[in-house]
Amino acid sequence: MLIRSTPQRPRLDDPAEKRAGRSGRISWGAVGLGVLGVAGACGPAAAQVKVTPQPEEPKPLSLADQIRLQTKFDPPAQWSVSASQQNDSMPRWLEWVPTQGSNRIPGRTQFDDDGWTAEVRLQATRTQGNEQWTTGFRYSMLTQRGAWEPVAPDYRGLRSDLGELVVQHNQRVPLGNGSTLYYGVGGGLQAIGDLGGHTVQEQFHIYGGFGGRTGPALQRFNTTPGHADLMPLVTAGVRLDQPLGQSDLALRSSLYSSLALGRGLSTVQGQMGLNFQPNSRFNLEGGVSASGVYSANPAMNFMRQDGIRPGAYVESNLQLTRHIRAFGRVQTGGIQNEPVYTVGFSVGLGPNPWLSPGFH
């Protein structure tokens, strides 16, 4: 008899089957734990690597942007225009000013109105912060001395004229000790010769209301009739204001120079004085000076200008209204080699030139 054995089918709930089924599948929990483990292992190493951002280099500003940035914070510009006249015919109340006898009418105390006879000056000045531009025009009439009776033996009635037009840039530098330094450089043109001075002087004597000589009594022979030499001119100046303690006094030292490049008039003038300024409306200054002059133009030979000479000066500035100031100066020696006085007015909100181009 043949006996067949039928293998037993495994039970669905057999524990061994369950264990086999679990071993054949990947658990998502195990995957998650593995990822976390890898991240944890790499984390400390990654934390040690720091990425430092590179700073951006500043972009260079164009010239236009630099000017725009600078002027954005600058104070507004202020303008002033001034006119003055200088004369050697001193008024009577100044006849006491000491001078040599050749500068007076023979036998009298009155000044002779010969030599550096008269001068007209015009200036326009623009000031912004510590920077200043000034334009100056000078027109001088020069006449031979010795015209009054008794006439000097070498008198010939000679005359000549001097004209200058200069533009100068001035800079102000406040110093740490309360002092202030000013310096400036400029350039322009100088003319020497026949610039119509005889006509101007004679017409002023006729219509100016002050009288004066006319006709043959007034020097009328120009040394270069109908001709004038024109040459370049370079100007420079420096000034130092030093306050004296807590008072209203300051020591002011200055040096001015003008150099004619050609057959012209070159000058250098140094000053030192005390400046008294109790408020912003008024100041008074007095001191001493030394001047050197050299003329390479034969049209001025009759003036005998060349030389070095001492002098003294007193000047003042008074603000009359918000827009108008008056100023004046009396000096001896100097470039003119005789006493002269200057009076003038300026209009505008800006200050007068810190350094005037040329000489006083």
pLDDT, tens only, 202-215: 999 999 888 889 98
User: What total number of domains does the chain contain?
Assistant: 1
How much is the average pLDDT of 156-179? 95
Give the total residue count for the chain. 360
* pLDDT for the residue 111: 94
Tell whether 357 is covered by a domain: no
Tell whether 170 is covered by a domain: yes
How much is the average pLDDT of 2-13? 48
* pLDDT for the residue 20: 44
* pLDDT for the residue 60: 78
Domain assignment of residue 105, given as a range: 69-348
Lowest mean pLDDT of 14-18, 68-72, 89-93, 304-308, name the range.
14-18
In angstroms, the CA 332 to CA 360 distance is: 11
Residues 6 or more apart in contact with residue 273 via CB below 8 angstroms? 251, 252, 285, 286, 287, 288, 313
Say how many Å lie between the first and final Cα of the chain, rounded: 157
How much is the average pLDDT of 273-289? 96
What is the share, in percent, of the chain residues with pLDDT greater than 90?
71
* pLDDT for the residue 23: 44
* pLDDT for the residue 268: 96
What is the number of alpha carbons within 13 Å of residue 187 lying toward its C-beta? 3
pLDDT in tens, 242-259: 999 878 999 999 999 999
CATH number of the domain encompassing residue 266: 2.40.128.140
Contacts 24+ apart (CB under 8 A), 198-207: 198/159, 198/222, 200/141, 201/117, 201/118, 201/141, 201/143, 204/118
Tell whether 54 is covered by a domain: no
User: Residue 111 class from Cβ within 10 Å (0-12 exposed, 13-18 middle, 19+ buried)?
Assistant: buried
Tell whether 15 is covered by a domain: no
How much is the average pLDDT of 72-89? 90
pLDDT in tens, 8-60: 554 444 444 444 444 444 454 544 445 444 444 445 444 455 556 666 677 77
How much is the average pLDDT of 189-209? 94
Tell whether 217 is covered by a domain: yes
Tell whether 41 is covered by a domain: no
b/e map 267-281, b = 16+ CB within 10 Å = bbbebebebebeeee
* pLDDT for the residue 194: 97
Tell whether 63 is covered by a domain: no
Tell whether 13 is covered by a domain: no
Q: What is the DSSP letter of 56?
A: P
- pLDDT mean across residues, the chain: 86
Q: What is the pTM of this model?
A: 0.78
How much is the average pLDDT of 178-194? 97
How much is the average pLDDT of 136-152? 94
* pLDDT for the residue 74: 75
pLDDT in tens, 86-133: 999 999 999 999 998 889 999 999 999 999 999 999 999 999 999 999
pLDDT classification of 171: cutoffs 50, 70, 90: very high
